[in-house]
Amino acid sequence: QIYLYQDRLTPLTEVHISPEDRGYYFGDGAYEVFRVYNGKLYETEAHFTRLNKTVDALRIHLPLGQPALTQRLEELIQANGLQDGIVYMQITRGAAARVHAFPSGAEPVLMAYTQTLARPYASMEQGIAAITADDIRWLRCDLKTLNLLPNVMAKQTAIDRGAGDVIFHRSGTVTECSSSNIMMVKNGVVRTHPANNLILHGVTRAVVLRLAQAEGIPVQEMPFTVEELLEADEAFITGTTVEVTPVTSVDGKPIGDGSPGAVTRRLQQAFDTSIP
C-alpha cells in the first residue's frame, strides 16, 4: 500500500504522523472521500470545491494546489493499482503542543490512501432498514471536518438495532444520514433537504438531482419531517459509498410497500449509466 504523505507517494512505514497532530487532539482538520471507478477519479471538481470550502472555513492551507494534488491522487491510484474503490484524503492543521488557539508555525499535514471497495450491489438491490435519531451535531454540517463522533455513535446504534443506517432529524425535520444524504419521493416528486449549513452538500446528491431533472422527475429542495417520510411512497440515500440505496423501512415501519420504489429504480439506472 502506497500513501500520499504531504507531497510525495510513500509506503505506510514512511508516514510519520506526530502524536501532537491537532487532528488527533481536536479533530482539527478536513477530509474527502473520492470514488474511483475503473481506475479514474469520479466528480473530482465537485470534491475539490467542497474541500476548498472546508479548508477555507477552517483556515488551513493546502500544501499543494489543486492541479498538483489531483495529479498526486491519480499517481496514488496508479501506484496501488486501484480499479474500483475510494481515495480517502485528510488534511490537519498539523502538530503542535496542545493549545486551543491556532499554534504558530504548525505545518498542515496531508495524507491520502486508497481502498478497494466494490459497489454496494446487494443493498442497492434490496434496500436498507433505517432508524431515526436526534441530530445532535453542530451547525456547520456543510463542512467536511474530522469531527464525526455523533455520526459514529449514531451509526453504531443503527447497527446494534439491526438497521443499515440512521436518519438524523432536528426537532422532527429530517436532515441527512450518518454518511449519506436522504431523499423521499411523494406523488412522483423527489424531495430533499436544501443544501444549507445543516447538511453536507453531497457530491452524489448533486449528481442525483441533476439526473432527476434530466429524467423529467420533479425535484424539490425543501425540508420534510419524519412524519412525512413515514408517509412517503419511496425513500433512498445518496453518497459516494452507497450511490443510490433504497430505504425500505424507517423505525420498523415500511416505506411505501416496503420494497424499492419505481422512481428510486429509475434514478439508480440513471446513476449507473452516468458512471464513465
Number of residues this chain uses to bind ligand PDD (CB under 6 A): 15
| Interface characters, 38-77, with ligand PDD (x: CB under 6 A) | ----------------------------------------
| 193 touches 205 (CB < 8 A) | no
Among 90, 204, 264, 268, binds ligand PDD (CB under 6 A): 204
Nearer to ligand PDD, 106 or 182 (CB): 182
111 near ligand PDD, judged by CB under 6 A: no
Which cell numbers hold the place of 211? 439526473
Q: What are phi and psi of 195, to 5 degrees?
A: -80, 80
Among 54, 132, 181, 248, binds ligand PDD (CB under 6 A): 181
33 near ligand PDD, judged by CB under 6 A: yes
DSSP 257: T
Q: Annotated catalytic sites, by residue?
A: 144
245 near ligand PDD, judged by CB under 6 A: no
Residue 274: CB minimum distance to ligand PDD, A: 14
Can you tell me the distance from the alpha carbon of 85 to that of 118, in angstroms, rounded to the nearest whole number?
Answer: 6
Residue 276: CB minimum distance to ligand PDD, A: 17
Residue 97: CB minimum distance to ligand PDD, A: 29
Can you tell me the distance from the alpha carbon of 265 to that of 174, in angstroms, rounded to the nearest whole number?
Answer: 22
Give residue 20's identity as a one-letter amino acid code.
Answer: E
Strand-pair category, 181-186 with 85-92: unpaired
Cβ atoms within 10 Å, residue 104: 6
| 184 touches 264 (CB < 8 A) | no
Can you tell me the distance from the alpha carbon of 271 to that of 208, in angstroms, rounded to the nearest whole number?
Answer: 7
179 near ligand PDD, judged by CB under 6 A: yes
* CA distance between the termini of the chain: 26
Among 23, 127, 202, 260, binds ligand PDD (CB under 6 A): 202
Among 205, 249, 261, 263, binds ligand PDD (CB under 6 A): 205
Residue 203: CB minimum distance to ligand PDD, A: 3
Can you tell me the distance from the alpha carbon of 44 to that of 262, in angstroms, rounded to the nearest whole number?
Answer: 30
Among 240, 248, 249, 268, binds ligand PDD (CB under 6 A): 240
176 near ligand PDD, judged by CB under 6 A: yes
Helix (H, G, I), strand (E, B) or coil at 129: strand
Residue 14: CB minimum distance to ligand PDD, A: 25
User: For ligand PDD, which stretch binds (CB under 6 A), given 68-76, 235-243, 249-257, 266-274?
Assistant: 235-243
> Please, which residues have CB within 8 angstroms of residue 269's CB and are 6 or more apart in sequence?
none
| 199 touches 174 (CB < 8 A) | no
- Residue numbers at the binding site for ligand PDD (CB under 6 A): 33, 151, 176, 179-181, 200, 202-205, 238-241
